[in-house]
Amino acid sequence: MTESPINISVYEGSLLSVRSTGSSKDRLHRMVGAARRKAELQPQWKIGELPLKYRCSSCSNYLRFPIQFENCGHHVCSSCLPDIIRVASRCPTCQQPIAKDKITNANDLEKEVQNLEVYCGYKIKGCDWFGILHDFSVHLETCRFMLTNCLNGCGVKFERRFLSKHQTEDCVKRMIDCEFCHTKIIFEDEISHFSACSEFRIPCPNQCSTKNFPRSQLKNHLDTECLKQEISCPFNDCGCEYRGYRAAFVQHMKESSDSHLSLAGKTISIQKQLIKLYEERSNEQKIYIDLLSRKVNALEKTYGAQYIWRIDNYHEKFQEAHTNKKPTLYSPTFLTSRHGYFLGLSICLFGDGKAKGKYVSLFICIHRGDYDALLSWPFSHRVTFTLLDQNEDVNNRRHLSCSVKPNVCKENNPFLDRPIAERNASFGCPRFAELDAMTKCNYVKDDAIFIKVELDSEEMINI
């Protein structure tokens, strides 16, 4: 037997292949379709009982999109066909086997059925609609007797004609105005809204009167009006311990005016003393802070304003100077304060120029530094060099000092002005110490000497 698939339009408007008897999804679809058909409201036929020729022998309903079995000439709904083929594949009217390639759409019959005159299925309830079957389903969309669900989602079903009454009077999900604050609320939330509504009327907790107050005004009532509210005397801070109903308060103020006055007087005098005490303390602190800030300033200035240069291997270096192998020694560079002048020392252990062979010559030189732009120029601070005596007996040390106060004038600019090159020319004490003096005291000890340089920071600016 050959099966040629044929497509027949069915109720629901979709195309259902006759050949596909299979998937459970299809079966479910058909069962749902049949159940829906059964639940549908049937019209009331004008001709009374519906003649058999318009009735489907499979579902007993009026024929919808009918098909005809060519072999026997009987009709069924196209939506009933797949079940018929699946179960027995025989015509449900005459039981003849169905030839699948001998099934045709009965369009004329469909037109005939759709043109049958009908009353609304709710005629019995009072609907007076009358028309042809074709228009019945459209009528049901507006039929006042049709059952409909509440659109607010309250779950209630009712005839369409009761819609407005339900929505305005019965529905628990309808919107209503709060009679106190006049905001929109859902009817079933009314009670819980009242427990928070700021305009809901509640009685005074002190039961001062039978009047009710809007919730938002109750605090003000208790704070300013309620005669039964317990309050403290405003002179409480001054020492009056009276506490009582507001009603009795006027009397208390009258009776206690003298004692209030004296309490207030005492309080004022105590306050005055306190203020004085605070002023004194604050002045003391001001003085102390001034002192500290001066100390900090001084520290800032002296930090680095003194530098000690230790020269090791003195005898070897002296020889090198003597033989002119290395006449000058240079110290590491140093800052006069954290953000001060950048300086370096140089020493000629066998003397320089005219002092050669007679004196140790000592010089200082200004190097180009990172903070030069912030400093005052030309450099004018007194510089003091000291050769330190290393005598173990601290009290018997005889340091050797020499100081230079820079003479600020145009000729000295190469020494004292802000450096343009890496470093300025050196200045200092060509006759710092007699060569003979170096062997005296304890200037050289462990083959090392110490040279201290100090700057007068008095006029140095604060950065």
Residues that bind Zn ion (CB under 5 A): 56, 58-59, 72, 74, 77, 80, 91, 93-94, 120, 122, 127, 129, 143, 150, 152, 154, 156, 171, 178, 180-181, 197, 204, 206, 208, 226, 233, 235, 240, 242, 256
Measure the CA–CA gap between 283 and 20, rounded to whole angstroms. Answer: 105
Give the span between the Cα atoms of 288 and 63, in whole angstroms. 112
Can you tell me the distance from the alpha carbon of 256 to that of 358, in angstroms, rounded to the nearest whole number?
A: 100
Q: How near is the Cβ of 203 to Zn ion at its closest, in Å?
A: 8
Q: Write out the two tokens for 348.
A: 């000629």
For residues 398 and 307, give the distance between their C-alpha atoms in angstroms, rounded to a whole number. 19
Residue closer to Zn ion, measured from CB, 255 or 290: 255
Q: What is the DSSP secondary-structure string of 257-280? A: HHHHHHHHHHHHHHHHHHHHHHHH
CB of 277 to Zn ion, least distance (A): 28
Shorter beta-carbon distance to Zn ion: residue 45 or 180: 180
Q: What tokens appear for 76 in the block? A: 């069924």
To Zn ion, the closest distance from the beta carbon of 237 in angstroms equals 11
User: Is the CB of 63 or the CB of 444 nearer to Zn ion?
Assistant: 63
How far apart are CB 47 and Zn ion at their closest, in Å?
19
Cβ proximity to Zn ion, 91 vs 335, nearer residue: 91
The angle formed by the CA atoms of residues 46, 49 and 50, to the nearest 5 degrees, is 85
Measured from the CB atom, the residue of 156 and 408 that comes closer to Zn ion is 156
Q: Please identify, using beta-carbon distances, which residue of 121 and 430 lies nearer to Zn ion.
A: 121
CA 225 vs. chain centroid, Å, equals: 43
Closest CA to 444 of 312, 306, 351: 312
Contact by Cβ (8 Å): 360, 378: no
Kindly report the backbone phi and psi dihedral angles of residue 295, in degrees, each rounded to the nearest multiple of 5, phi listed first. Answer: -65, -45
- Of 8 and 154, CB closest to Zn ion: 154
Token duo for residue 413 = 């600019």
Tell me the closest approach of the beta carbon of residue 108 to Zn ion, in angstroms. 18
Give the nearest distance from C-beta 274 to Zn ion in angstroms: 22
Q: How far is the CB of 120 from Zn ion (least distance, A)?
A: 3
Residue 173 neighbours by CB under 8 Å, 6+ apart:
150, 152, 153, 154, 186, 187, 188
Rounded Cα distance between 91 and 73, Å, is: 10
Task: Single out the residue of 118, 127, 105 nearest to residue 8, CA to CA.
Answer: 105
Q: Which helix (H) or strand (E) holds 232?
A: strand 230-232
Q: Measured from the CB atom, is 242 or 342 closer to Zn ion? A: 242
Cβ proximity of 337 and 458 under 8 Å: no
Nearest distance from residue 14's CB to Zn ion, in Å? 16
Closest CB 76 distance from Zn ion, rounded Å = 5
Q: Which is nearer to Zn ion, 72 or 264 (CB)?
A: 72
* Buried b or exposed e, range 297-322, using 16+ CB within 10 angstroms: eeebbeebbebebebeebeebbebbe
Q: Which is nearer to Zn ion, 30 or 381 (CB)?
A: 30
Say if CB 43 and CB 119 are below 8 A apart: yes
**Shortest Å distance, C-beta 280 to Zn ion:** 33
